[in-house]
Amino acid sequence: MIPRIYIPGDSGALALGAEKVAKAIAKELAERGIEAKIVRNGSRGAYFLEPMVEVATANGRVAYGPVKPSDVKSLFDSGFLTGGHHKRWLGAPDKIPFLAKQTRLTFARCGINDPLSLDAYKSLGGLKGLQNAVAMAPADIVKQVTDSGLRGRGGAGFPTGIKWKTVLDTTSERKYIVCNADEGDSATFADRMIMEGDPFVLIEGMTIAGVATGATKGFVYIRSEYPHAVATMNKAVEIARKAGVLGVNVLGSPNAFDMEIRVGAGAYVCGEETSLLNSLEGKRGVVRAKPPLPAIQGLFGKPTVINNVISLASVPIIMDKGAAFYKDFGMGRSRGTIPIQIAGNVKQGGLFETAFGLTLGEIVDDIGGGTATGRPVKAVQVGGPLGAYFPRALFDTPFDYEEFAKRDGLIGHAGITVFDDTADMLKQARFAMEFCAIESCGKCTPCRIGSTRGVETIDRLAAGIEPEKNLALVTDLCNTMKFGSLCALGGFTPYPVMSSITHFPEDFKPAPARVAAE
């Protein structure tokens, strides 16, 4: 048997030098005259171990990481092709604690095989959900998704099945499935990992959505900052078409469904669903007022399911194993699993899929292992640039939509950014306003003007000018933005700002040292 070596082609792994490692391994194989097959898999998501190289041995996979090009010679000398010991040896990948502790449903296949091998996808249970779906009545598929308790993983947490039911019940000669892959929130990379590491699961999920609602056309709107995801998705769609997964007869059934990959153009606000629809139509990505709901009048005015990548990629397992199986995971009204992305200043950063319910402290301290710098954790921002900053005092908050809302936070797309004690929360609050000003679509006044006034007011606070008055002004401004903005950009920017002010008041006190230094 020819040895198989797995080297991730995921952008996170590439950013850490996977390409150089692949070249060094290929060169070493050639020099030693060894025949081996190099497979470029996705990432399993343990980025602190990337580039993580795996070899298939008689006793299963053995992983090594993080591998540097300079390690390659000694890896061969240590007999890594048969799992030999080396300082980078990690053992069986599924026994690595960070991976072993996870419950992988949506990401079950991500990072294991060549993402563009449809055979490998099928060998690990792929397409079973779609096979079940094409044999069912649309209303029954929608019921399964509703019963699973799946809620929109993009951040809003709206029940996916209810959205689908609205589209199913709306009569139209044309309907659309739109996948929101405009993953702009800092600390999130779950969508990117799925698109680069298991693209067929997204295609399968979208096709099920099409069959369930009577939509025949799908669009994936991917942000331009993700060139690798765009390339992989384009190739995967082509392969799925050739294999009859997409086309006029999905898996030989009378259902027609096809899809296109579209690329955004660097506007954060296009992650908001109505902006995204405008952008797909070729317009400025400005927010639309709701109603009408996209489910009734969406893309080109037609009924449209618009879901996040992870919501859609979670559907195949629900249709394969059943609603009850999925619903069995989680807590309260947050059912199933959630891919938590642990990022920023953290020792063990990466993607951790688990049932809802872990506390924030367990995620940051036990799984993340604390900060990368080794300093104490000061704050963690949960849910991206529009999410609240949580202090250590709130680390007992369980990861659940409602529990976070109760503490004036949100889980959003489940990204967590860890900051050590050098963080200046006034600076973070200012950045939140600044980011809102840069990215505002300009349609509504609280967001467009409020964000700029917010930056100016926080600057006055920093300069020690009338601190009490300016603090009250920021608070009042946040209130206006929260309740007066059309969408979550202006409406949620107050979360990082107000949580910084509430939980870290010391950073907003006049700093005599800062004033004196200027």
Partner 1 sequence: MTMQPASTEIASRTAAIIQELKGLEGPLLPILHEIQEEFGHVPQAALPVIADGLNLSRAEVHGVVTFYHDFRARPAGRHVLKLCQAEACQSMGSDAVAAKIKQLLGIGFHETTRDGSVTLEPVYCLGLCACSPSAMLDGEVIGRLDDEKIDEILAEVRS
Smallest gap from residue 136 Cβ to partner 1 (A): 29
* Residue 199 in contact with partner 1, rule: CB under 8 A: no
* Residue 187 in contact with partner 1, rule: CB under 8 A: yes
CA distance linking residue 363 with residue 424, whole number of Å:
23
* Residue 183 in contact with partner 1, rule: CB under 8 A: yes
* Residue 491 in contact with partner 1, rule: CB under 8 A: no
Smallest gap from residue 219 Cβ to partner 1 (A): 8
Least Cα distance to 217 among 280, 171, 260, 252 occurs for 260
Least Cα distance to 154 among 197, 190, 207 occurs for 190
Site for partner 1 in 7-36 (CB under 8 A): 11-12, 14-16
- Tokens representing 95 are 């026994």
Smallest gap from residue 439 Cβ to partner 1 (A): 7
Choice between 148 and 499, CB closer to partner 1: 499
Contact region for partner 1 (CB under 8 A) — 147-155, 244-252, 287-295, 418-426? 418-426
Q: How many residues bind partner 1 (CB under 8 A)?
A: 65
Choice between 165 and 223, CB closer to partner 1: 223
Smallest gap from residue 4 Cβ to partner 1 (A): 25
Helix axis angle, 425-439 relative to 445-462, nearest 10°?
150
Site string for partner 1, 309-348 (x = CB under 8 A): --------------------------------xxxxxx--
* Residue 272 in contact with partner 1, rule: CB under 8 A: no
* Residue 372 in contact with partner 1, rule: CB under 8 A: yes
Contact region for partner 1 (CB under 8 A) — 257-265, 314-322, 451-459, 466-474? 257-265
Choice between 403 and 420, CB closer to partner 1: 420
- Whose tokens are 């060549």? That residue is 114
Q: What single string gives the DSSP state of each residue in 300-350?
A: GGS-EEEEEHHHHHHHHHHHHH-HHHHHTSEETTEESEEEEEEEES-SS-E
Tell which one of 381, 451, 470, 499 touches partner 1 (CB under 8 A).
381
Site for partner 1 in 432-461 (CB under 8 A): 435, 438-439, 441
CA–CA distance from 459 to each of 430, 431, 455 (Å)? Answer: 8, 11, 6
CA distance linking residue 430 with residue 185, whole number of Å:
17
Tell which one of 7, 418, 433, 461 touches partner 1 (CB under 8 A).
418
- Tokens representing 380 are 């963690």
* Residue 350 in contact with partner 1, rule: CB under 8 A: yes
Q: What single string gives the DSSP state of each residue in 108-122?
A: SSTTTS-TT-HHHHH
Instruction: Give the three-state DSSP class for 415.
Output: strand
Contact region for partner 1 (CB under 8 A) — 139-147, 390-398, 423-431, 463-471? 423-431
* Residue 354 in contact with partner 1, rule: CB under 8 A: no
DSSP 355: E
Smallest gap from residue 486 Cβ to partner 1 (A): 16
* Residue 281 in contact with partner 1, rule: CB under 8 A: yes
Smallest gap from residue 487 Cβ to partner 1 (A): 15
What lies within 8 Å, CB to CB, of 131 at 6+ separation is 251
* Residue 383 in contact with partner 1, rule: CB under 8 A: no
Choice between 378 and 482, CB closer to partner 1: 378
CA distance linking residue 311 with residue 333, whole number of Å:
16
Least Cα distance to 136 among 218, 253, 311, 259 occurs for 253
* Residue 419 in contact with partner 1, rule: CB under 8 A: yes
* Residue 374 in contact with partner 1, rule: CB under 8 A: no
Choice between 118 and 455, CB closer to partner 1: 455
Smallest gap from residue 112 Cβ to partner 1 (A): 19
Tell which one of 316, 349, 370, 454 touches partner 1 (CB under 8 A).
349
Query: CB burial class (10 A; 0-12, 13-18, 19+) of residue 380?
Result: buried
Site for partner 1 in 210-239 (CB under 8 A): 217, 224-228
What lies within 8 Å, CB to CB, of 222 at 6+ separation is 181, 182, 195, 229, 230, 233, 261, 262, 263, 264
Smallest gap from residue 47 Cβ to partner 1 (A): 4
- Whose tokens are 């800062």? That residue is 514
Helix axis angle, 309-321 relative to 138-148, nearest 10°?
110
Q: Which residues is 512 bridged to in the sheet?
A: none
- Tokens representing 465 are 């000018």
* Residue 353 in contact with partner 1, rule: CB under 8 A: no
Choice between 134 and 270, CB closer to partner 1: 270
Q: Tell me phi and psi for residue 392, to 5 degrees.
A: -60, -30
Smallest gap from residue 236 Cβ to partner 1 (A): 18
| ω into 51 cis (within 30 of 0) | yes
* Residue 186 in contact with partner 1, rule: CB under 8 A: yes
The answer to whether the beta carbons of residues 501 and 474 sit under 8 Å apart is yes
CA–CA distance from 84 to each of 75, 459, 472 (Å)? Answer: 8, 58, 64
* Residue 48 in contact with partner 1, rule: CB under 8 A: yes
Choice between 225 and 366, CB closer to partner 1: 225
* Residue 106 in contact with partner 1, rule: CB under 8 A: no
Alpha-carbon torsion, ordered 347, 350, 356, 360, to 10 deg: 20
| Footprint of partner 1 (CB under 8 A) | 11-12, 14-16, 47-48, 50, 183-189, 191-192, 217, 224-228, 260, 262-268, 279-286, 300, 341-346, 349-351, 372, 381, 384-385, 415, 417-420, 423, 428, 431, 435, 438-439, 441
